[in-house]
Amino acid sequence: MLNIGDKAPGFTLPDENGKIVSISDYAGKWLVVYFYPKDDTPGCTKEACDFTDNRNEFAGLNAEIVGISRDDADAHQKFIAKYELNVTLLSDPNHAVHEAYGAWGTKVNYGKEIVGVIRSTFIISPDGEIAALWKKVSVRVKRKSGEVKHADKVKEKLAELQA
């Protein structure tokens, strides 16, 4: 299990265009990596759209956003086109990177225990360390004060880390 201060596990995966992307491509920048179950499903769509809607603010914090799922490049391209997403989506079909980040394992889904993607988000510092992490993410949480979006919490934490 990863903790704050640990070196982020390396990865080299294809993006939505088949281009090979490595964690080392982001050296010197802040990187938000989020693991999600499946393209074009309700929660995953909200999460991807929320990160896209905040893309400029993340860029202003010198941060890139990368989503990782088991979907292939074709599914990613359709997902991006359908919702006009502006985040990089990587394919991890064998879930090796998911496992390295602890984003794969046993979870309860509709009352049944299954093995699959554990929705998780990591902020990786410019020197490659885990600066913040969220496990078992709820994309949106309803509160009396209104709906809280996970992407907003990530953005706020990133700004706090840079203060």
Q: Please list the active-site residues.
A: 44
Residue 39: both structure tokens together:
């393209």
With tokens 């879930």, the residue in question is 95
For residue 12, give Cα distances in angstroms to 25, 42, 73, 91.
10, 27, 14, 10
3-class secondary-structure state, position 123: strand
* CB-CB contact of 129 with 30 (8 Å): no
- On the 0-12 / 13-18 / 19+ scale of CB atoms within 10 A, 103 is buried
